[in-house]
């Protein structure tokens, strides 16, 4: 009367918080593999600058002092970051699509780009960007050359919040 029965189905285990496991029916869904490495800090700063500038224009944020207060940073730091919005659009795109940093330091850093952003002429910006990226890609340390060597902006702290 009681015959043993066998039920076959596909299951997989999902991990939850604190290492707990949960049994799920069906085949395991292929996970979306995240690319290795990290997004360069300069790309994150530019994305932040674009977002903050949009919020300042819409009136969501009153001024740079409010941004600094909310972000627990100085107004000078907010000004440095917001200076990135003055870069030529193609330079902004190049920064946003910089390759992920696999290990070590980022090849291009904020202090390298601020003097370029303070230059008003986009042609001069593009020339300085090509020099900077060319040096960084050829294995030279782009940070070794002082910012003044670009021939651009003597005061990198002057920005949109001044």
Digit-coded pLDDT (tens) for 4-51: 888 888 877 777 777 787 777 777 776 666 778 899 999 999 999 999
Q: If pLDDT is split at 50, 70 and 90, which confidence band does 73 have?
A: very high
Average pLDDT over residues 144-150: 41
Helix (H, G, I), strand (E, B) or coil at 38: strand
13 or 100, which is more confident?
100
pLDDT of 18: 75
Q: If pLDDT is split at 50, 70 and 90, which confidence band does 152 have?
A: very low
Give the predicted TM-score (pTM) of the model.
Answer: 0.68
pLDDT of 149: 42
Average pLDDT over residues 110-139: 89
Helix (H, G, I), strand (E, B) or coil at 21: strand
**pLDDT for residue 69 is more than 80:** yes
pLDDT of 22: 79
CB 129 within 8 A of CB 123: no
Least confident of 38-52, 123-137, 146-160: 146-160
Buried b (16+ CB within 10 A) or exposed e, 106-116: bbbbbebbbbb
The Cα 80–Cα 40 span in angstroms is 17
**pLDDT for residue 142 is more than 70:** no
């Amino acid at each position: 009367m009681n015959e043993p029965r066998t039920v076959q189905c596909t299951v997989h285990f999902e991990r939850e918080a604190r290492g707990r496991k949960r049994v799920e029916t069906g085949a395991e869904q292929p996970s979306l593999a995240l690319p290795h490495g990290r997004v360069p800090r300069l790309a994150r700063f530019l994305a932040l600058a674009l977002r903050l500038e949009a919020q300042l224009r819409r009136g969501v944020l009153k001024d740079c002092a409010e941004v600094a207060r909310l972000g627990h940073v100085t107004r000078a730091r907010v000004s440095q970051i917001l200076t990135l919005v003055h870069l030529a659009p193609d330079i902004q795109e190049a920064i946003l699509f910089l390759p992920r940093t696999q290990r070590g330091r980022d090849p291009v850093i904020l202090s390298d780009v601020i003097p370029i952003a303070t230059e008003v002429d986009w042609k001069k910006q593009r020339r300085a960007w090509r020099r900077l990226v060319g040096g960084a890609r050829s294995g030279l340390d782009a940070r070794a050359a002082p910012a003044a060597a670009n021939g651009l902006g003597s005061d990198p702290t002057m920005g949109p919040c001044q």
